[in-house]
Amino acid sequence: MSSFKIFDVAGSGLAAESVRLNTVASNLANADSVSGDPTTVYRARHPVFEAVRAAVAGGLGSAAAGFAGSGADAASGAAVRVAGIVENTAPPVVRHDPGNPLADEQGNVYAPNVNVIEEMTDMISASRAYQNDVEVMNTSKDLMLATLKLGE
């Protein structure tokens, strides 16, 4: 394996964690929104990661997004790609609020199924994985520079 593939693996991890952080931010931003119709209320979104081997996938080109922090095999050039973003299927929270202008005929409004504690935990986890991928890139760069200095 080329020494430069580690940058592809860590870079794909950065891209995947960026998607994860963006979905958490979207979930938190919409946590307090309400709707008068349970079918139109915001639903929590979560990215789905998929394992990919570079040899099978034909390389990790710039369009591939992945995650190197959980189970990626740097020796074989493997990574995890964002396969998609799915919506949570849990039902929305029903609140009785007859004074709300969005309330239905029974006086209910529907709140998103976003668990703020879970989202904050996911945000911390994604942030640390992102930091780890940055550290992998910095360490690899330092090792390559040290290797080049051996020839001086």
Is the residue at 95 inside a domain? Answer: no
Is the residue at 75 inside a domain? Answer: yes
Is the residue at 101 inside a domain? Answer: no
What is the C-alpha separation between 77 and 71, in angstroms, rounded?
12
Our count of domains for the chain comes to 1
Per-residue pLDDT of 9-68, as tens digits, reads 888 899 999 999 999 999 999 999 999 899 999 999 999 999 888 654 444 444 444 444
Mean pLDDT of the residues in the chain:
84
Q: Are 23 and 85 in contact (CB under 8 A)?
A: yes
Domain hosting residue 9, numbered range: 5-33+42-90+113-149
Is the residue at 98 inside a domain? Answer: no
Is the residue at 53 inside a domain? Answer: yes
Is the residue at 49 inside a domain? Answer: yes
pTM: 0.77
What is the C-alpha separation between 17 and 49, in angstroms, rounded?
10
Is the residue at 73 inside a domain? Answer: yes
Q: Are 83 and 94 in contact (CB under 8 A)?
A: no
CA 127 to each of CA 62, 137, 146: distance values in angstroms, whole numbers, following the listed order: 22, 16, 29
DSSP β-bridge partners for residue 57: none
Per-residue pLDDT of 56-103, as tens digits, reads 444 444 444 444 444 444 445 678 799 999 999 999 999 999 999 989
Task: Using the structure block, give the residue that is written with the tokens 């991928």.
Answer: 133
Is the residue at 100 inside a domain? Answer: no
